[in-house]
Structure 1
């Protein structure tokens, strides 16, 4: 997020003339529309907005948003985005990646952009599969996933994207899913955060991992299995008939029943987005024993990477006049004296 004056736009201003090409029914369509509907609400300016992607189905994104964009190489979107932001800190920079692109070959780049706290929004589309390369198991695929690379079922323990982000030092971590009406709220919160904002978006791959998230993300009937977190509000779900409590003896989260709306007597805890320890617990609780924790899990800003770079540059250049000639002649240098012709 930058501090530039908001501009008025509509959804149409963010749509390109390019044909959107994903498989029919792909969750990426819903995410694209959620982003395009959110940008006008933010007052974002297409002329100051940059989408950077790596490789994968999600990485087609820059072609479909009427702004600047880079379609980079596999896993390296954070590196390019860092260069963009350092070159012009006033730009709104969005990184679009997938569970394969961002958690496998690009895992180290994702880690470093988070720990550095570059001011950008990172949207990680998680469909738990390699979709573009025809359905191989990805770092987030569940145990037992059958795919061309795991025909007898995957035995790899899946990576948890939000746990990874918290472990890498991210100061903003959130979750949503493709068809959720609340996804724009999550995107807006990420944009308002000053620093690296990591948003995991569960995305249905209609071809290679169809309906794998239906337990909590089905268009109808899954609401009772969603825990939408709001700062300062009790952790309630299932129509406020159930909640999340912290067992003081075991220091573990538990599901409790809420009778007559009395969540305090049930011991339901209030969400505090600055509580990193509880955020870790929320990303680790197993589904379906617990509801899926969604919304903003953690939000605690700190100085940004590009801000620190600018401050250091200002400090080192204070009181100094730019003089390229003096710089070139400083230190070990020599002068070639003019001489007459050399006899051979």
Structure 2
């Protein structure tokens, strides 16, 4: 997986992005635009968390680009005082790829939703992930189409009653992180909108990763899917949430009464008292073996009986944009051309007369 001769490996995601010496605060990333989401929407918390986190990066705001598609989540670039593009439905990863390839001096982010990214945009998403473009994708998952008033989405549960499925959905939903890992994503994580500390930690790791960072954020839609993740916030949620820390045993519960162990080719949850401590899985986010992270993603289910949060996978691989730039540089060295010569481009080797 790792090309030891690639000089870009080991660099941070923002190695070529200009930094500022001026201290920044959350208010520096706040625009004069009125924030227009429904009262109680989880997007407010996510926006506040992102604004509070961005000053940590110390980047010049004019070198930050947020690209969105269509949907409630895709309004976010309006509310960040950076550059932003409200692009085409599902095509934000394609627009962001062009920016990342041509402008290594930019920190490029994609803001999308479960409908935008996983339905019409599914093809663009998986190819951005497999190519490992140097950008960060934030997928707000509320399991519903909010902007178009409450239709079921690719992550809605089987049996979900919505305006477009009045008798209950018969579609089997995506396991979003399994999909990302199947596309060989090099960084995959999940966080909750209401967990600002956990979300900030995930954002911090994602922003530092060189390559495509994919972060799923469970987010409440109080109008069309209210309370969809309440079981992960209320008393007793400790028995459902499985937090990941690299290098630490995967143990959870109020007093660590549950843990994760290997079971055949996968993983399962058991009582900590029933197993030897050496049998408990120690989380390794940096292993090159994608099967482990995929097994972790399968622990999360539709009913939220168990939900794994944190960084599932973070590995090093050459990025698409770095490879394209090296290839272009090599071509120029072998065949120097007058970059201002349009005629040479038009009448080059691959032309013919009709």
For the criterion TM > 0.5, the same-fold answer is yes
> Is 2:320 the partner of 1:305?
yes
Unaligned stretches of 5+ residues in structure 1: 335-344
Residue 256 of structure 1 contacts residue 268 of structure 1 at CA under 8 Å; is this kept in 2?
no
Partner of 2:294 in structure 1?
280
d(CA) in 1 for partners of 2:66 and 2:350? 44
Residue 18 of structure 2 contacts residue 105 of structure 2 at CA under 8 Å; is this kept in 1?
no
d(CA) in 1 for partners of 2:350 and 2:171? 56
Q: Where do 1:1-344 residues align within 5 Å?
A: 1-3=13-15, 4-7=17-20, 8-180=23-195, 181-216=197-232, 218=233, 220-238=235-253, 239-247=255-263, 250-259=264-273, 265=277, 267-273=279-285, 274=287, 275-287=289-301, 291-323=306-338, 324=341, 330=348
Seen in structure 2, the aligned counterparts of structure 1 residues 224 and 309 have a Cα distance that, compared at 3 Å, is same
- TM-score w.r.t. length of structure 1: 0.90
Say which one has the larger Rg.
Answer: 1
Return the structure number with greater relative CO, CA threshold 8 A, min gap 6.
Answer: 2
SS in structure 2 opposite 1:303? coil
Residue 170 of structure 1 contacts residue 196 of structure 1 at CA under 8 Å; is this kept in 2?
yes
d(CA) in 1 for partners of 2:269 and 2:317? 33
d(CA) in 1 for partners of 2:345 and 2:258? 68
d(CA) in 2 for partners of 1:114 and 1:332? 32
d(CA) in 2 for partners of 1:332 and 1:169? 35
Question: Relative to structure 2, which stretch is displaced further, 14-23 or 284-293?
Answer: 284-293
Seen in structure 2, the aligned counterparts of structure 1 residues 330 and 45 have a Cα distance that, compared at 3 Å, is closer
Structure 1 residue 254 displacement after superposition: 2.3
SS in structure 2 opposite 1:318? helix
Residue 15 of structure 1 contacts residue 65 of structure 1 at CA under 8 Å; is this kept in 2?
yes
Residue 191 of structure 2 contacts residue 216 of structure 2 at CA under 8 Å; is this kept in 1?
yes
d(CA) in 2 for partners of 1:60 and 1:113? 21
d(CA) in 2 for partners of 1:331 and 1:246? 58
Question: Relative to structure 2, which stretch is displaced further, 223-232 or 149-158?
Answer: 223-232
Seen in structure 2, the aligned counterparts of structure 1 residues 152 and 83 have a Cα distance that, compared at 3 Å, is same
Residue 149 of structure 2 contacts residue 224 of structure 2 at CA under 8 Å; is this kept in 1?
yes
Seen in structure 2, the aligned counterparts of structure 1 residues 331 and 299 have a Cα distance that, compared at 3 Å, is closer
Structure 1 residue 220 displacement after superposition: 4.9
Matched residue pairs, number? 329
CA offsets 1:274-320 (integer angstroms, 9 cap, x no match)? 24212111111244685311000011120111100000001111154
d(CA) in 1 for partners of 2:278 and 2:139? 35
SS in structure 1 opposite 2:31? coil
d(CA) in 2 for partners of 1:258 and 1:121? 36
d(CA) in 1 for partners of 2:350 and 2:123? 38
Residue 184 of structure 2 contacts residue 290 of structure 2 at CA under 8 Å; is this kept in 1?
no
Residue 2 of structure 1 contacts residue 92 of structure 1 at CA under 8 Å; is this kept in 2?
yes
SS in structure 2 opposite 1:182? helix
